[in-house]
Amino acid sequence: MSNDGASGRLLPALAVTGLFAVLAATALSAGFGEATGFPADASVVHNVGYALFNLEPRGTMFVAPGEPVYEGMIIGEHNRDTDLEVNPTKTKKLSNMRASGRDENVILTPHHVMTLEASINFIRDDELVEITPKALRMRKRVLLSADRKKLR
């Protein structure tokens, strides 16, 4: 009997193990700098369908009503080629006065679900793709608007 079957399986396994060892060594020796991610003191709020309804004419939305959002998160694509800072948590003003007409129901167009590949192709140099077990989000590299204005 020939022993070629065992050695035929052993060589690819050794190659994969060696490749993994090289990648692991490279990743461990790489200097990543300071940790950048979602700041613990940032406020996470749920967006409101009313606010998204008013933002729809300005572009395509990437978030569904009620999804958590935070400052610096990319929630849609503007019709123009510029960034637009918006507030997706704006609520309707409630008062004791009755309106002469009836209140409008908010009907939203379905949001555009971005895949990982589409997100990577979409982002610019000052943006990041955030991947968690439950969500895929795009955000600005510098989250706070005031800090982004200082960098310009």
Task: Tell me the pLDDT tens digit for each residue of 33-53.
Answer: 554 555 555 567 777 888 888
82 band by pLDDT with thresholds 50, 70 and 90: confident
Please state, in angstroms and rounded to a whole number, the distance separating the CA atoms of residues 115 and 7. 41
Instruction: Report the CATH architecture of 42-151.
Output: Beta Barrel (2.40)
Write out the chain in H/E/C secondary structure.
Answer: CCCHHHHHHHHHHHHHHHHHHHHHHHHHHCCCCCCCCCCCCCCCEECCHHHHHHHHHHEEECCCCCCEECCCEECEEECCCCCCCCCCCCCCCCCCCCCCCCCCCCCCCCCCCCCHHHHHHHCCCCEEEEECCCCEEEEECCCCHHHHHHHC
pTM score, whole prediction:
0.65
